Amino acid sequence: MLDKLEAAVKRFRELEKEIADPEVLADHNRWRELVREHARLGPLVDAYSDYRRVCRELEEARELLQEKLDPEFRKLVESELDQLAERKEQLVRQLRELLLPPDPRDERNVILEIRAGTGGEEAALFAADLLRMYVRYAERKGWQTEILSSSPTDIGGFKEVILMVKGRRAYSHLKFESGVHRVQRVPRTESQGRIHTSTATVAVLPEAEEVEVEIKPEDLSIDTFCASGPGGQSVNTTYSAVRITHLPTGLVVTCQDERSQHKNKERALKVLRARLLAKLQEQRDRELAAQRRAQVGTAERSEKVRTYNFPQNRVTDHRIGLTLYRLESVLDGDIDEIVQALVEHDQVNRLGSVS
């Protein structure tokens, strides 16, 4: 582990020089890539500096105990020795976690797609609840959100809604939200008071950069049409809505929320680029299936990841067996405890690869 840490410190110093190099500054993409790597290594270098300092202080305290000391002073040194030993163990754990191979997508913004599943109108209402949960969570983190596309229902739900989340390490926090989310409650439309189970699917896609996914104009079929609202009624008379079909893969993206055809096309291309990147990543994941099974779930939409039970005021994440009895605050965006538990579980499963 120490060899890896020394190599990381050396790379960190090299990056500081490269980032200041005029030739690198002239290449914006290269400069941005190096800045990201520098920012990622920063916490590791800081923790390693603390570790070395604690080791020095431990050695000094042990040497001090070899001398003839006043009993009261000896007790103080022994107490400090215990504290330093505990701090060293904490730093070792932290360093092992920081040495884990990073997911290069962790720093990305996120395109988050929520779709109503089984349950009809109640599923659409639940999709709206999940949208609000993620928007409120983003607000708590100081991130920006923007609805790229939506298909609302007559009573306030969503058949589908696509949300852009912009913020530092947004993907690292939200990537384990992918999957089937289940709600158990008495539907707003149910007069008999019976508890129903409905679902919504969440897909979390890292925003793709243009250099990562090449989209050839000849591979696109672009249609324009009048935007429509709930129930299918026309909401404007201009052909501002855009439907883009990627012919090689059959992927279709529709955007109609903006009145400008140009803006809708720009949004649709952003979503398409993210979906194509996710498709490429899925292919890579299949090739690395054994490694992927060691992580938290597979993040496939067919996998039931979480249940929101209203009668019991309960939220359960099935992948890690975590249950919280504060449903209202969770749906208000207070999901940090769940997010951190998922991240830590993933880290624990991967720590075996770091010796």
Same fold for the pair 110-211+298-351 and 217-284: no
Q: Is 139 in contact with 262 (CB distance < 8 Å)?
A: no
Lowest mean pLDDT among 153-157, 201-205, 232-236: 232-236
Lowest mean pLDDT across 195-199, 211-215, 219-223, 243-247: 211-215
Residue 210 pLDDT class (50, 70, 90 cuts): low
Q: What is the pLDDT of residue 13?
A: 93
For the chain, the domains span: 2-98, 110-211+298-351, 217-284
56-70, 97-111, 115-129: which has the highest mean pLDDT?
A: 115-129
Q: Given pLDDT bands bounded at 50, 70 and 90, which one contains residue 128? A: very high
Mean of the pLDDT values across residues 263-291?
Answer: 77
Contact 36, 104 (CB under 8 A): no
What's the pLDDT score for residue 162? 93
pLDDT of residue 171: 94
DSSP letter at 296 equals S
What pLDDT does 68 receive?
84
pLDDT at 238 over 90: no
What CATH class does 217-284 carry? alpha beta
The predicted pLDDT at position 77 comes to 85
Q: What is the pLDDT of residues 243-270, one digit of tens each?
A: 999 998 899 998 887 778 888 888 888 8
Q: Which of 103, 33, 97 is nearest to 285 (CA)?
A: 103
Q: 110-211+298-351 domain in CATH 2.60.120.10?
A: no
Res 46: pLDDT: 93
Q: Work out the mean pLDDT of the chain and round it to a whole number.
A: 85
Q: What is the mean pLDDT of residues 264-292?
A: 76
Q: How confident is the model at residue 290 (pLDDT cuts 50, 70, 90)?
A: very low
Q: Mind giving me the DSSP string for 182-217?
A: EEEE--TT-SS---EEEEEEEEEEEPPPTTTS---G
Q: Is 180 helix (H, G, I), strand (E, B) or coil?
A: strand
Q: What is the pTM of this model?
A: 0.66
More confidently predicted of 331 and 262: 331
Q: List pLDDT tens digits, range 159-175.
A: 999 999 999 899 999 99
Whole-angstrom Cα distance, residue 324 to residue 140?
A: 19
Kindly state the average pLDDT of the residues 15-33: 90
> For position 259, what pLDDT does the model report?
77
